[in-house]
A and B are shown apart, each in its own frame.
Chain A
């Protein structure tokens, strides 16, 4: 059983929802990425989505754009991020790690080299924002050969035929983008999510995580009632931006604990 599957099985038995925090690897500094990952787990994270910064993050709002720029300025690359995951795995062999970003850094490395490296260092899933299923067949053959789960996005605009198509290809969990917009936007519509999730469930047998636009504990709690996992990205990245290198771990831990508490009350 994969780490992602094991994590969701355990949560299901406990009747809990997953908390899936996201932050950009290398922000605020490469040396703090692995300590931040451990701090997230200690504060209640079930899965970690680690952002791979890209020079042109078209699907991201200003908060994650700035984080990507900071990380790239510190010299972070896909190669160094894989090293970070390897370091994380020395102490934590249970918490699933999903790399999230854009396709081009992977294209540059080559999918086979990337997938084999992911398997070696203990990456569990890969989400490429700008690679829809139509363009992913070859890439995901490489991922599957190395036991890496391809994580797909679904959106409010996704029609039923596409939901079926994604259902066939997706592994691990499916990430439902809860709004029409970029990451960190503030126009999340709970009733629309409530309507859409049953439609997704008709085809998707995997756990469904919901993200984009979850900015506080109250929203996290409300969203948790509707799905299997809550993804919080921009809010955490904002917390990192607002902190110093000295207090960033304490500040992010406090935020994640608050989110954990809220989700467990759902």
Chain B
């Protein structure tokens, strides 16, 4: 039976708690508190209430009929995480972590963000519960995701631009860790993805599993069976693990994670550690496949989507790759943009550029499959935040 992580927070050789000593007691305390509350009836009831009445769950599954007909092969279904409050799957985990923070008596929350969706989700739950909120965001991401920066500020959060390193998600993560080490007693770090030191990869996964748990009920209701494959984009990999995990022990369902191919794996300018066979390394509290040079320095990544622009990936995806239960592939920038356009025109849905990577892979494989096959794509977020990026690519000034 598949049962990870082990009691020390390892997924096979991956995961762990690679943190500075000052933070070790904090992550141990978090693990203990999460263990205490994860099956607590009151905690579960409160989370279920918030997910239903505040987030708007369950999110529907939608049959993208016109797009499927156009492709002439497998039927594409979309898990509509874009319809959640705040417009992405990030709120599922931000809500769970905020409720835990409240039980732990923490009045201040911090977060890192790439595309800004996790920052917005964190700022939202902080406003909802009256907590102080500081969000770290790379200076380059602040440029390309300006609407989300404004949303966070409207919600009362302080957005701190991070100027170090590549000025993207990994640097925002470094800076959030520095804040946490300084304010460890007052502060809860609401981590955005299913990575980082134990218990984060497990805890964020558990909160995101609502996606796959719903899909396992919804698909039989819609088509009388489970899909042939589930497909999701993978940066750190939280939306993907949330969809994948409930399907791990459903062997007839193929699991496909789509990494950001950037300009193409062969150019080296990508954010696809799994597909590019990156070496195992240690960053941000866990051991994972990690893009790095021969001296162990983390290399700069490239993706058109800020949310996938990260050199590592969550430890459970590393394990799923190694044991062969999931397959990892890439979509390049231009393929993601084409998928973005297709969904806008055929279905009237503007997807996030992150989710467009997953959709691009479905568009790639659907025509080669028979029309009775079903692909379930996680539409992890909506694309309103990407208007500036897409307009710029098309040479349009807004």
CA of A154 to CA of B178, assembled, Å? 17
Q: Quick one: CB contact mask for B1-39 with A, threshold 8 Å, 1 for yes?
A: 000000010000000111111111110000000000000
Which residues of chain B come closer than 8 Å to A65, judged between CB atoms?
164
- Are B21 and A58 neighbours in the complex by a CB distance under 8 Å? no
Which residues of chain B come closer than 8 Å to A77, judged between CB atoms?
295, 297
Say yes or no: is B42 at the interface (Cβ < 8 Å to chain A): no
CA of A58 to CA of B279, assembled, Å? 21
Secondary structure type dominating chain B contacts = mixed
Give which listed residue, B25, B294, B296, contacts A157 with CB less than 8 A: B25
Q: Which residues 158-195 of A have a CB within 8 angstroms of B?
A: 158-159, 162, 177, 180-182, 185
B17 closest partner in A (C-beta): A134
CA of A131 to CA of B26, assembled, Å? 15
Which residues of chain B come closer than 8 Å to A56, judged between CB atoms?
165, 170-171, 174, 283-284, 298
Segment from A39-47, A104-112, A214-222 that makes contact with B: A104-112
- Are B282 and A104 neighbours in the complex by a CB distance under 8 Å? yes
How many Å from the CB of A211 to the closest CB on chain B? 12
Say yes or no: is A153 at the interface (Cβ < 8 Å to chain B): yes
- Are B21 and A155 neighbours in the complex by a CB distance under 8 Å? yes
Q: Quick one: CB contact mask for B165-204 with A, threshold 8 Å, 1 for yes?
A: 1000011001001100111110000000000000000000
Give the A-B contact count at a CB cut-off of 8 A: 120
- Are B295 and A78 neighbours in the complex by a CB distance under 8 Å? yes
Which residues of chain A come closer than 8 Å to B147, judged between CB atoms?
none
Which residues of chain B come closer than 8 Å to A197, judged between CB atoms?
none
How many Å from the CB of A86 to the closest CB on chain B? 18
Say yes or no: is B264 at the interface (Cβ < 8 Å to chain A): no
Q: Which residues 102-120 of A have a CB within 8 angstroms of B?
A: 102-109
Residue of A103, A130, A180 ringed by the most chain B CB atoms within 10 A: A130
Q: Quick one: CB contact mask for A31-73 with B, threshold 8 Å, 1 for yes?
A: 0000000000000000000000011111101000100010010
B177 closest partner in A (C-beta): A58
Say yes or no: is A198 at the interface (Cβ < 8 Å to chain B): no
How many Å from the CB of A241 to the closest CB on chain B? 15
CA of A108 to CA of B280, assembled, Å? 8
Which residues of chain B come closer than 8 Å to A154, judged between CB atoms?
21
Say yes or no: is B290 at the interface (Cβ < 8 Å to chain A): yes
Which residues of chain B come closer than 8 Å to A185, judged between CB atoms?
182
- Are B282 and A103 neighbours in the complex by a CB distance under 8 Å? yes
In the complex, how many residues of chain B place their beta carbon closer than 8 angstroms to a beta carbon of chain A? 39
- Are B184 and A108 neighbours in the complex by a CB distance under 8 Å? no
Q: Quick one: CB contact mask for B289-321 with A, threshold 8 Å, 1 for yes?
A: 010101111100000000000000000000000
- Are B280 and A107 neighbours in the complex by a CB distance under 8 Å? yes
Q: Quick one: CB contact mask for A60-96 with B, threshold 8 Å, 1 for yes?
A: 0100010001001000011100000000000000000
Which residues of chain B come closer than 8 Å to A109, judged between CB atoms?
296
Give which listed residue, B16, B24, B174, B184, contacts A180 with CB less than 8 A: B184
In the complex, how many residues of chain A place their beta carbon closer than 8 angstroms to a beta carbon of chain B? 41
Which residues of chain B come closer than 8 Å to A108, judged between CB atoms?
279, 281, 292, 294-296
- Are A104 and B177 neighbours in the complex by a CB distance under 8 Å? no
Which residues of chain B come closer than 8 Å to A55, judged between CB atoms?
165, 297-298
CA of A252 to CA of B16, assembled, Å? 39
- Are A58 and B22 neighbours in the complex by a CB distance under 8 Å? no
CA of A248 to CA of B178, assembled, Å? 29
Which residues of chain B come closer than 8 Å to A69, judged between CB atoms?
164-165
Q: Quick one: CB contact mask for B115-136 with A, threshold 8 Å, 1 for yes?
A: 0000000000000000000000
- Are A104 and B181 neighbours in the complex by a CB distance under 8 Å? no
B290 closest partner in A (C-beta): A104
Say yes or no: is B285 at the interface (Cβ < 8 Å to chain A): yes
- Are A104 and B298 neighbours in the complex by a CB distance under 8 Å? yes
How many Å from the CB of A111 to the closest CB on chain B? 12
How many Å from the CB of B289 to the closest CB on chain A? 12
Which residues of chain A come closer than 8 Å to B22, judged between CB atoms?
59, 153, 155-157, 177, 180-181
How many Å from the CB of A157 to the closest CB on chain B? 5
- Are B178 and A61 neighbours in the complex by a CB distance under 8 Å? yes
Which residues of chain A come closer than 8 Å to B290, judged between CB atoms?
104
CA of A10 to CA of B200, assembled, Å? 46
Which residues of chain B come closer than 8 Å to A157, judged between CB atoms?
21-26, 184
- Are A107 and B21 neighbours in the complex by a CB distance under 8 Å? no
- Are B18 and A159 neighbours in the complex by a CB distance under 8 Å? no
CA of A240 to CA of B395, assembled, Å? 46
Q: Contacts A56-B165, A56-B170: A72 and B17 contacting too (C-beta < 8 A)?
A: no
- Are B298 and A103 neighbours in the complex by a CB distance under 8 Å? no
A/B interface sample: 19 pairs, CB < 8 A = A54-B296, A56-B170, A59-B20, A65-B164, A104-B282, A104-B283, A108-B281, A109-B296, A129-B20, A130-B19, A131-B282, A135-B287, A153-B22, A155-B22, A155-B24, A157-B25, A162-B25, A181-B22, A182-B182
Enumerate chain B interface residues (CB-CB to A < 8 A).
Answer: 8, 16-26, 164-165, 170-171, 174, 177-178, 181-185, 279-285, 287, 290, 292, 294-298
The 7 closest A-B pairs by CB, nearest first: A108-B296, A105-B296, A155-B22, A77-B295, A153-B21, A181-B182, A55-B297
